[in-house]
Chains A and B, each alone.
Chain A
Amino acid sequence: MTDDTLKARGLKDEILTVTDLKKHFVIGQKGTVNREPITVKAVDGVSFGVQAGETFGLVGESGSGKSTVAYITVGMYQPTSGTITFRDQDLSADSKGRSLALKKEIQIVFQDPGSSLNPRRSIKQILELPLRIHQPDKDCLHEVLRLLDLVDLPPEYLHKYPQSLSGGEKQIVAVARALATDPSLVILDEPTSALDVSVQGKVINLLIRLQREFNLTFMFITHDLSLMRNVASRVAIMYLGKICEVAEAAEFFQNPQHPYTQMLLSSIPVVSAEEEAAKPAKIIPTGEIPSPVNVPRGCSFHTRCPYVMDVCKQIDPVMVEVGSEHIARCHLFEQPEAVLNQVPEEESSPVPQSPQAIIPGN
């Protein structure tokens, strides 16, 4: 499946282009005579583009493949198929096959700073490492001090070790390390999930300030939709290795179209009545997230979808435009005739003309 709609739009200054990206992991074999590999389709045909200077949000529950997309982008994995390009340079090689100049441009901040910072290295050593590799002729100490200043950490921190820092400070060091190579694209993989809400704001506001200052592009991965609302300019939602819906952030939260997006948004616990009013009509979530080893056939969401139709169990839907700059992958939005043509007559069920018609009232 390709999302031609996204590509066809010809986004101005697209920095990262992902087309039909797939990553399948072989986790074992079944059968004794005819050995068949058991694969996990972690990412299964994902297409999107990230514009320079924006914050592209990627949301989804655990196992949806959002981190795998990030790891492929940064070069930790090689994709099984599909193309991924950064400013027209091919990214389908992993980090071993990438040039130093290319690696410098894409950096990542991981979820848990407790394990992404080496406990036996001082902050100075941690920040020096990328500098030594990428800018061997520069004055290291000067650069490290500049980095600390950038993220508002006092110079005394040079000789501290990660264990004497709080969680928020550790994550700030991880951000400084990512900026050491002067990248254009920074991948933030759940940068605040391990932090308390009281320190989350500091890290997020720092990231936003740095983005403005250095014109960074962010790929922001989180499962916290309330946070996403406040940071992203565009949001894509993933479920079992596929993207369900992509839209501008305001549109995504005010006018969600895909049933999964609606389910997720309506499940968020919120702290005020205004937010309650901003949520879509409650969809009570049912069922478990299926195992990525046995993805249901047809639309992978059909086992939990409140609007499931016969066609959903047979045919995987394709991306269709549901608004301006707004695409969703659901049979509800496909032309009824097109859907009916795809299924045998006796199996088809009446397809509602608009999704609103069947969404229960509040």
Chain B
Amino acid sequence: MSTPPLLDIKDLRVEFRVYGGVLKVLDGVNFFVNAGEKVGLVGETGCGKTTTMKAVLRILPMPPAYISGGEIFFKGQDILKMRNRDLGKVRGRGISMIFQDPTAALNPVFTIGQQLGAVVQHASPANNRLSKRQIREKAIIPLKEVSLADPERLLDSYPIQLSGGMRQRVCIGMALATDPELLIADEPGTSLDVTIQDQVLRLLHGLVEKKDTSVILITHTLGVVRETTDRVYVMYAGNMVEVAPTHKLFAEPLHPYTQGLMQAVPKLTGGGIAEGIPGRIPSYLDPPPGCRFNTRCPRVMDVCRHQKPPYFYLDEDHQVACFLYDQTLDQHKEETPSI
């Protein structure tokens, strides 16, 4: 690839230093997004999806969080080394984020107009202070884009006067008001009903297509990823365990964790529900050595308990961090019967 990726996370390590010890949450995360690409990020609750993205925007609470290693390049610049003034330019105009819970993301004591106005002012060049009227005129544009009825009245409404679906639309409008190059959508539909989620995702999809924005979609609903992304990362306990183009991943999931997740999803065609993956995400205080999935893996081998698996390339674009796919370790597979 000749052009460098828009966002490139290299070997990112994040720890949380708490009273009980050090939580080693992100354990060498590698992740990239090309310009114009829609990337999905899936995994169970607590696997580090949101932590990774918060590290990108440098909005992790520090302390207790501490970035103990790695680099995050956005358009060639390392975000972790940026001064605050430069970071302000990246946030909003470079990268914006939509949060899972729109109710918590909007400030309850300011009107939608005041909150959107602040975003609009931030998006305009620094030496150009807008008048109140200009702000209002500009603030109404994103509300129209997310097809909200009666945007004039909405500007003077407080978040509590809006339904959940409307609030999430406002958040989408707000995130896109700055014309960012990269949009991080953290579970944008999870707190909404199915039909409303469908509407919101459809709207988001249409807008990013139109504006040619790159998207990172964080979710634990595999169906949503399948329908809206080009490429998917699967995350488990602070590691990216598998990455592949969406159609390949859904056709042939390779990592035992991905396979377990896929089987656990109830199918609309019926046929019962798989047991899922036994156990739970290990404690970050004392994660198992080797592959962090070894405590739950149905096909665990000896080597998994000692050595962290590197990425094995099956295709140019399909990588998996699992020793099952290591051609040089064939003897291990025969030794261990699958359980």
Task: Check B276 against A229 for contact (C-beta < 8 Å).
Answer: no
Please, how many angstroms separate the alpha-carbon atoms of A62 and B197 in the complex? 12
A182-221 vs B, Cβ < 8 Å mask (1 yes, 0 no): 0000000000000011111110110000000000000000
- Check if B202 is an interface residue, CB within 8 A of chain A: yes
- 12 new A-B contacts at CB < 8 Å, known A202-B276, A223-B194, A269-B221: A197-B220, A197-B264, A200-B264, A229-B270, A230-B266, A230-B267, A231-B273, A264-B195, A267-B198, A268-B223, A271-B222, A284-B199
Taking CB atoms, residues of chain B closer than 8 Å to A348 are none
Task: Check A271 against B250 for contact (C-beta < 8 Å).
Answer: yes
Nearest 8 interchain pairs by C-beta: A269-B223, A201-B276, A267-B198, A61-B193, A285-B195, A226-B266, A198-B277, A275-B268
Task: Check A271 against B280 for contact (C-beta < 8 Å).
Answer: no
Q: A268-B223, A269-B224 are in contact. Are A275 and B276 (CB under 8 A)?
A: no
Please, how many angstroms separate the alpha-carbon atoms of A270 and B280 in the complex? 25
Which one, A204, A279, A289, A304, contacts B268 given CB within 8 A? A279
Taking CB atoms, residues of chain A closer than 8 Å to B250 are 271-272
Q: A168-B280, A197-B220, A198-B277 are in contact. Are A270 and B268 (CB under 8 A)?
A: yes
A-facing residues in B191-247 (Cβ within 8 Å): 193-199, 202, 220-224, 226-227
- Check if A225 is an interface residue, CB within 8 A of chain B: yes
- Check if B45 is an interface residue, CB within 8 A of chain A: yes
Task: Check A61 against B280 for contact (C-beta < 8 Å).
Answer: no
Contact count band on A: 35 or more
Which one, A253, A264, A270, A285, contacts B223 given CB within 8 A? A270
Q: Which residues of A contact B (CB under 8 A)?
A: 61-62, 166, 168, 196-202, 204-205, 223-227, 229-231, 249-250, 253, 263-265, 267-272, 274-275, 278-279, 284-286, 288-289, 304
Taking CB atoms, residues of chain B closer than 8 Å to A202 are 275-276, 278
Q: A270-B268, A288-B166 are in contact. Are A204 and B273 (CB under 8 A)?
A: yes
Please, how many angstroms separate the alpha-carbon atoms of A358 and B165 in the complex? 29
- Check if B269 is an interface residue, CB within 8 A of chain A: yes
Taking CB atoms, residues of chain A closer than 8 Å to B274 are 201
- Check if B20 is an interface residue, CB within 8 A of chain A: no
- Check if B337 is an interface residue, CB within 8 A of chain A: no
Q: A263-B195, A270-B226, A271-B250 are in contact. Are A226 and B165 (CB under 8 A)?
A: no
Q: State how many angstroms separate the Cβ of B221 from the closest Cβ of chain A.
A: 6
Taking CB atoms, residues of chain B closer than 8 Å to A270 are 223, 226, 267-268
Q: A223-B194, A269-B221 are in contact. Are A198 and B269 (CB under 8 A)?
A: no
Task: Check A288 against B273 for contact (C-beta < 8 Å).
Answer: no
Task: Check A205 against B265 for contact (C-beta < 8 Å).
Answer: no
Task: Check B198 against A230 for contact (C-beta < 8 Å).
Answer: no
Task: Check A269 against B193 for contact (C-beta < 8 Å).
Answer: no
Please, how many angstroms separate the alpha-carbon atoms of A350 and B127 in the complex? 62
Taking CB atoms, residues of chain A closer than 8 Å to B265 are 197, 226, 271
Q: A62-B193, A197-B261, A285-B196 are in contact. Are A166 and B266 (CB under 8 A)?
A: no
Q: State how many angstroms separate the Cβ of A162 from the closest Cβ of chain B.
A: 15
Task: Check A267 against B197 for contact (C-beta < 8 Å).
Answer: yes
Task: Check A271 against B199 for contact (C-beta < 8 Å).
Answer: no
Q: State how many angstroms separate the Cβ of A286 from the closest Cβ of chain B.
A: 7
Q: State how many angstroms separate the Cβ of B219 from the closest Cβ of chain A.
A: 9
- Check if B271 is an interface residue, CB within 8 A of chain A: yes
Q: A166-B280, A202-B275 are in contact. Are A227 and B196 (CB under 8 A)?
A: no
Q: Between A and B, how many residue pairs show CB distances below 8 Å? A: 124
Task: Check B222 against A264 for contact (C-beta < 8 Å).
Answer: no
A–B pairs, 26, beta carbons within 8 Å: A196-B45, A197-B220, A197-B261, A197-B265, A197-B276, A198-B261, A198-B277, A199-B276, A200-B276, A201-B264, A201-B273, A201-B276, A223-B193, A226-B267, A227-B266, A229-B266, A229-B269, A230-B266, A230-B270, A249-B270, A264-B195, A267-B194, A268-B223, A284-B198, A285-B196, A289-B196
Q: Which residues of B contact A (CB under 8 A)?
A: 44-45, 163, 165-166, 193-199, 202, 220-224, 226-227, 250, 260-262, 264-278, 280
Task: Check A205 against B196 for contact (C-beta < 8 Å).
Answer: no
Please, how many angstroms separate the alpha-carbon atoms of A296 and B268 in the complex? 31
Taking CB atoms, residues of chain A closer than 8 Å to B273 are 200-201, 204-205, 227, 230-231
Task: Check A253 against B270 for contact (C-beta < 8 Å).
Answer: yes
Q: State how many angstroms separate the Cβ of B234 from the closest Cβ of chain A.
A: 12
Q: State how many angstroms separate the Cβ of B203 from the closest Cβ of chain A.
A: 11
Taking CB atoms, residues of chain B closer than 8 Å to A288 are 163, 165-166, 196
Taking CB atoms, residues of chain B closer than 8 Å to A204 are 273
Taking CB atoms, residues of chain B closer than 8 Å to A205 are 273, 275
Taking CB atoms, residues of chain B closer than 8 Å to A225 are 194, 268
Taking CB atoms, residues of chain A closer than 8 Å to B196 are 61, 285, 288-289
- CB-nearest residue of chain B to A229: B270
Please, how many angstroms separate the alpha-carbon atoms of A223 and B265 in the complex? 15
Residue of B220, B250, B275, B278 ringed by the most chain A CB atoms within 10 A = B275
Task: Check A289 against B193 for contact (C-beta < 8 Å).
Answer: yes
Please, how many angstroms separate the alpha-carbon atoms of A168 and B275 in the complex? 12
Taking CB atoms, residues of chain B closer than 8 Å to A201 are 264, 273-276
Task: Check A285 against B275 for contact (C-beta < 8 Å).
Answer: no
Q: State how many angstroms separate the Cβ of B216 from the closest Cβ of chain A.
A: 18
Q: A204-B273, A269-B221, A269-B227 are in contact. Are A61 and B195 (CB under 8 A)?
A: yes
Q: State how many angstroms separate the Cβ of A109 from the closest Cβ of chain B.
A: 17
Taking CB atoms, residues of chain B closer than 8 Å to A230 are 266-267, 270-273
Taking CB atoms, residues of chain B closer than 8 Å to A224 are 266
Q: A196-B220, A269-B221, A269-B223 are in contact. Are A285 and B198 (CB under 8 A)?
A: yes
Q: A198-B277, A201-B273, A272-B250 are in contact. Are A267 and B266 (CB under 8 A)?
A: no
Taking CB atoms, residues of chain B closer than 8 Å to A249 are 270
Taking CB atoms, residues of chain A closer than 8 Å to B267 are 226, 229-230, 270-272, 274-275
Taking CB atoms, residues of chain B closer than 8 Å to A289 are 163, 193, 195-196
Please, how many angstroms separate the alpha-carbon atoms of A146 and B28 in the complex? 45
Q: State how many angstroms separate the Cβ of A140 from the closest Cβ of chain B.
A: 29
